Amino acid sequence: MSPRTMSPKKHILRELTLVGEPGSPYAYLRPSDIPGYARAPERYQAAVNELLRDRLIEGRSDAEGRLSIALNAHRIADVRKALRPVWARPTSWVAAAIAAALGAGLVI
């Protein structure tokens, strides 16, 4: 999935999963270093703030005093859940089953 089709939140989480092991000092990345940030900085900054508020990521100041972010090592299961494809979510299967049942009922 390309950054253009992915929401900023998912794109940020995906990039942070590629950076390094959560909890390691090398897992931190400046938001501005994320590909796509330069195209829509306000959308990405809003997504960073929301992820920080939800505690899916954690932030700290780097050596230059700028914000660096990394995945929250205690919320990895929630991050994986957020990154699941649509077809892997139980609610998608339920919605598809209901749509199929309604469609079959309307055809008869």
CA distance 67 to 33: 11
Q: Is the pLDDT of residue 3 over 70?
A: no
Structure tokens at 8: 């900023």
What is the pLDDT averaged over residues 8-26? 84
Tell me the longest C-alpha to C-alpha distance in the chain: 68
User: Per residue in 33-49, pLDDT tens?
Assistant: 999 999 999 999 999 99
Where does residue 63 rank: exposed (0-12), middle (13-18), buried (19+ CB within 10 A)?
exposed
CA distance 108 to 72: 51
Place of tokens 């990521």: 57
Indicate the pTM of the whole model.
0.72
Q: Which domains can be identified in the chain, with CATH numbers?
A: 8-107 (1.10.10.10)
Range list of β-strands (E), the chain: 57-61, 67-71
CA distance 88 to 74: 23
User: Per residue in 48-92, pLDDT tens?
Assistant: 999 999 999 999 998 899 999 999 989 989 988 888 876 666 776
Contact (CB, 8 A) for 27 and 71:
yes
The predicted structure's pLDDT at residue 95: 78
